[in-house]
Amino acid sequence: MKISYDKKGSVMVNSRISELDHSTIKPNRKIWNQIKRDYELYLFLLPIIIIYLVFKYYPMYGIQIAFKDFSPSRGIWGSEWVGFKHFIDFFDSYNFWTIMTNTLTLSALSLVFSFPAPIIIAIMLNQMLAKRYKKIVQTVIYAPHFISTVVLVGMLNVFLSPNSGIVKKSILVRVSKTRAGENRTVYVTSDTINLFQDYIIEFHSSQTSIDHVFFNLSGKNKGEQMSYWGLQALIKRLNRKAEVDFTAHMFRHTCATQLNDKGISAVSLKNLLGHAHIQTTLQMYVHPSDETIRKHWEQAISHESKE
């Protein structure tokens, strides 16, 4: 503020502050004074800041996993840096273009259908005269939005589970050949088929059209059904590499024992194994454990006491 006198002696006050006077005011101090004065308003920003820090910035700490050979035992910081190795593996994978095409297609379809659909539905509901029917339609349309995707997927898994859901475990009937070349019906669970298909897609994608459980992966008979003796030779090679002594025939004994423990009838078990006499099945292939023997004994004692 400047004070001066005119020619008549009147006092003149100039309230304009020069640029030099402006520079003497500290901006930081002015802002801090405003925050102290209106701190109640700034407290409303605190929840938003915490949410962004916890759910937006803190998860960015895990982005470095994409550039590391992550090991849960060593943690994120202890894992070794591998650079762009995972990206190169993904770009070179056989299903890269399939994934990329599906992603772009779904994004395009989402823009084409998901964007105008709510607008069209809103206009249609606005033109409806029956208010009660309009409310019912609105409730039916908006109700699924209150269920999270995680809960919805969990419900689908429970309802459609092949083990315990509404859809029971599906059994696929396969026709196999015995050592003598005879056809035999084999029942395979859907879990086994899914595991086998995942293995084929993961390690032998070029052989996805093959419909055999055992087939030749190399040699002049590549892609053809593996013979009985070819399977035996494969198991011998696995024995030498794994240093574990086992045969394919051992799995028949294990399967027979497990099915017997689960209550399958002796006649059905005999037919599944392809035996001519039921004595062969019960005496040579069923090996009940001590726990199974004790359970059957307790059931017999309990039944006898009730009588």
Tell which wins on pLDDT, 248 or 176: 248
Residue 188 binned pLDDT confidence (cut-offs 50, 70, 90)? confident
Reported as a single tens digit per residue, the pLDDT across 259-307 is 888 888 888 888 888 888 888 888 888 888 788 888 877 877 876 666 6
Asked whether residue 50 carries a pLDDT value surpassing 90, the answer given is yes
This prediction has a pTM of 0.38
Rounded to whole angstroms, what are the CA distances from 18 to 22, 25, 31, 262, 305? 7, 12, 21, 96, 109
The angle that helices 248-261 and 228-242 make with each other, rounded to 10 degrees, is: 90
Could you tell me the two tokens for 25?
């005011």
Region of poorest pLDDT, from 48-62, 189-203, 223-237:
189-203
Contact 162/180 with Cβ under 8 angstroms?
no
Tell me which DSSP letter residue 289 carries: -
Contact 212/228 with Cβ under 8 angstroms?
no
Mean residue pLDDT of the chain comes to: 77
Contact 210/223 with Cβ under 8 angstroms?
yes
pLDDT of 51 reads: 93
pLDDT of 14 reads: 54
Asked whether residue 215 carries a pLDDT value surpassing 80, the answer given is no
Strand bridging mode 2-5 / 183-189: unpaired
